[in-house]
Amino acid sequence: MVGEHDPHLHAAAAAGLRHQLPGDRRHVCHRDQRTEAGEAGHVPLHDSDGNARRDALVSPQQTVQGFPNVPGVRYFGRPNDLSINDGTIQPAKHVKGKEYPLLVPKVDKDGNEIAGVRAVALQVPLATHAGWNLRAKGFIEDELCYLNGQYIPFAKTKEEREKTGDPRLSIEERYKDQADYVQRVSHAARALVEERFLLQEDAERLIADAAKNKIFAETNP
């Protein structure tokens, strides 16, 4: 939180992040935020453009929020509601007409959040990272599945994505080759280090992982 008595202490929103779980290393920039805040007391608060993105919170309707129509993925735009409750009855009920307006992060054409601290996985994506998920049939279907997010991988090839009707570009349409992908990961990771959102050791690990992760579809010899 922004400290009223400490102008050097800031808060930063991590884009596309689900509730943090033990061992979850997809958004390692959180480690540097905590380390730097503890050692230097200063964590920059801006998005990748260096601006405060107040316009990045929008209405949850899909046409406004921008989540793509990915095959097999349901989007209903139902964030947690927020209302004044009548506590004189139990269980407490919402007071009609006293609901607070709810806004959600706007996403890009891949379904990844635009504003906030964007981890390498969002800057050089292989998938859509959503901080929300919906319950399956038989388990209060289509209600929010609290604490869980989604990882929705891109198709490997243009042919594969067109066959399923996926609007998101495939891996082969995004990156020239494996070296191009690794170079982009390296650039994004090192930029986050410079901005003090990522530890050097985590940047090196992400770059090494990118080099080992064969992202393109295998071709028959």
The reply to whether 5 falls in a domain is no
Range of the domain at 55: 29-212
How many structural domains compose the chain? 1
Residue of 121, 118, 139, 103 whose CA lies nearest to 26:
121
DSSP sequence for 129-154: EES--BPPTTSSTTSB-TT--EEEEP
Please write the tens of the pLDDT for every residue from 152-211.
999 999 999 999 999 999 999 999 999 999 999 999 999 999 988 889 999 999 999 999
More confident residue, 203 or 96: 203
More confident residue, 112 or 46: 112
Rounded to 10 deg, the angle between the 29-39 and 178-194 helix axes is: 20
CB atoms within 10 A of CB 52: 11
Please write the tens of the pLDDT for every residue from 21-35.
544 545 555 555 544
What's the rounded Cα separation, in Å, for the pair 189 and 193?
6
The reply to whether 23 falls in a domain is no
Q: pTM of the full predicted structure?
A: 0.77
Positive or negative, the CA dihedral 54, 151, 203, 33 is positive
The reply to whether 202 falls in a domain is yes
The reply to whether 16 falls in a domain is no
More confident residue, 20 or 80: 80
